[in-house]
Amino acid sequence: MTDIPEEVLPNDEAAFHYRLLMLDEFDGEIDGAKKYHKSLVEFRESANLREDWPFRRVYWGPMDPGFSSILESYDDLQLVYKEDDGNIHIYKETEKGSRVARGLKEGLRILKKDQTQQRETELQLIAKVNKDRLGSEIEEDDIIQKLKESPLGSEV
């Protein structure tokens, strides 16, 4: 019988899935990269994932440095696609992406139990609060403003 490793989903890999799970909590659509980034930042802060999921301070605030490449990978896998509406990127989850998100949630509930429930609740809360807000409104939240005080280019 083989031993099951204590860490079945390493944190450096698990951090990537929150991008898909956040989109799923927004009912499969987020209008604007700023809104997406700021919601991910708020989730990361509320879930105490700062050490495992570094963001970079750029001139408009904290940014997830792996965001574009991971969403491109999700697009290649036909989980998410991006539409352009003028200057705004609209991120949409595909039906396949929705099924993958559900599978991730169910799998993580089995593998990570208590931690998963807490993080699911935090994702749901942030999506509920931010769903009808603009990225510029989310940017005014205290947590984002505090991170914007960090020097440009630093990890936040």
pLDDT digits (tens, 9 = 90+) for 69-85: 999 999 999 999 999 98
Percent of the chain predicted with pLDDT > 70: 90
CB 37 within 8 A of CB 134: no
The beta strands (E) that lie in the chain are given as 29-31, 56-58, 61-63, 80-85, 88-93
Mean pLDDT of 130-135: 96
Q: What is the pLDDT of residue 11?
A: 56
> Within its chain, how far is the Cα of 53 from the centroid?
10
Residues of the chain with pLDDT > 90, as a percent, come to 73
Angle at alpha carbon of residue 130, lines to 16 and 10, rounded to 5° = 15
Note the pTM of the prediction, 2 decimals.
0.88
What is the pLDDT, as a whole number, of residue 66? 87
Higher pLDDT, 14 or 32: 32
Which of 15-19, 116-120, 141-145 is predicted with the least confidence, judged by mean pLDDT? Answer: 15-19
Say whether pLDDT at 10 is over 60: no
